[in-house]
Amino acid sequence: MEIRVLGAHNCERQSQKMVSLLIDDVLAIDAGSITSSLSLEGQKKIKALLITHQHYDHVRDIPGLAMSLFLGGGAIRVYSIQAALDVLAKHFLNSEIHTDFRRKPETNPTLSLTALEPNKAVTIEGYGVLPVPVSHGVPTVGYQVTSGDGKSVFYTGDTGPGLEECWRRVKPQLLIIEVTSSDRFAGWAGESGHLAPSLLKQELASFQKLNGYLPPVVAVHMSPNLEAEIAAELAAVAEELECSITVAKEGMEISI
């Protein structure tokens, strides 16, 4: 399984983009920076897009991707939990904000939305996909994606502390988890459904206790202005827990 980090942040500037991951060129998770990262051919290769929740930094590119695919002769299936799809359909993917590509073209529309049930595994484009609830301000799921040859990654999406139930349901070989702020703002992070390094440390300790191991960890969704602090604090956490924690960057490729 080849995982490419298209966007690793919660907001953007010239060299930093909002969060998106791409697995083996065909399965994308979250849509903060798909169109700005990929050629039209790259966009057309994506068959399915998994959305963790409806916040802007995770869905921003869906309308633009749909327009690009419509003009370029492609189509895409978008998957998420019903609560997120309802909000997207009502406020974002409608004919008021942009063309409604759920109805265009009339036969075989460019965009289709499919609801997933939390904690129910499905097969999408040959991958096992397990949506698992995490702890955020709105209903949010992380995704464990497992390839045909048994390689698996779990990406949390946005989450705050309290992942014990989630950890009981996943056993990934790679964990991609959000770390939005540095420890100076850990109180704010926890209250707003995000993590800081000290909070991540508690969650990783909980994972290890429940599952008996710690996979390599990749941090995403960093606030760009806090990234240097976050990276230094994560290095200390990695040393204390004797595990690998990598701060993701745009364009990073990870093989598992």
Q: How far is CA 40 from CA 22, 45, 70, 125, in A?
A: 15, 9, 11, 20
Contact segment (CB under 5 A) with Zn ion among 6-14, 90-98, 109-117, 161-169 equals 6-14
CA separation for the pair 113, 92 (Å, rounded) = 13
Contact segment (CB under 5 A) with Zn ion among 5-13, 75-83, 112-120, 124-132 equals 5-13
What are the backbone dihedrals phi and psi of residue 66, each rounded to the nearest 5 degrees, phi first? -65, -45
Cβ closest to Zn ion, residue 1 vs residue 30 = 30
Q: How far is CA 182 from the centre of its chain?
A: 20
Helix residue ranges per DSSP H, 12-76: 40-45, 56-59, 62-72
Least separation in angstroms between CB 53 and Zn ion: 6
CA separation for the pair 46, 62 (Å, rounded) = 12
Among 4, 17, 55, 201, binds Zn ion (CB under 5 A): 55
Binding to Zn ion, residues 79-98 (CB under 5 A): none
Cβ closest to Zn ion, residue 110 vs residue 178 = 178
CA separation for the pair 126, 159 (Å, rounded) = 27
Cβ closest to Zn ion, residue 74 vs residue 158 = 158
In sequence order, what DSSP letters do the residues of 169-209 get, joined into one string? H---SEEEEE--S-GGGHHHHHHTT---HHHHHHHHHHHHH
Least separation in angstroms between CB 111 and Zn ion: 22
Binding to Zn ion, residues 153-182 (CB under 5 A): 158
Q: Which of 10, 13, 96 is nearest to 53 (CA)?
A: 10
Task: By CB under 5 A, tell whether 183 contacts Zn ion.
Answer: no
CB 79 within 8 A of CB 114: yes
Q: Which of 40, 7, 44, 41 is nearest to 22 (CA)?
A: 7
Task: By CB under 5 A, tell whether 57 contacts Zn ion.
Answer: yes
Least separation in angstroms between CB 11 and Zn ion: 9
Contact segment (CB under 5 A) with Zn ion among 34-42, 109-117, 150-158, 168-176 equals 150-158
Question: What is the CB-side half-sphere exposure of residue 150 using CA atoms within 13 A?
Answer: 0
Task: By CB under 5 A, tell whether 201 contacts Zn ion.
Answer: no
- Give the interface size with Zn ion as a residue count (CB under 5 A): 4
Cβ closest to Zn ion, residue 16 vs residue 110 = 16
Least separation in angstroms between CB 3 and Zn ion: 18
Least separation in angstroms between CB 168 and Zn ion: 23
The contact pattern for Zn ion, residues 8-27, with x = CB under 5 A and - = no contact, is --x-----------------
Tokens 């707003």, residue?
A: 192
Q: Which residues bind Zn ion (CB under 5 A)?
A: 10, 55, 57, 158
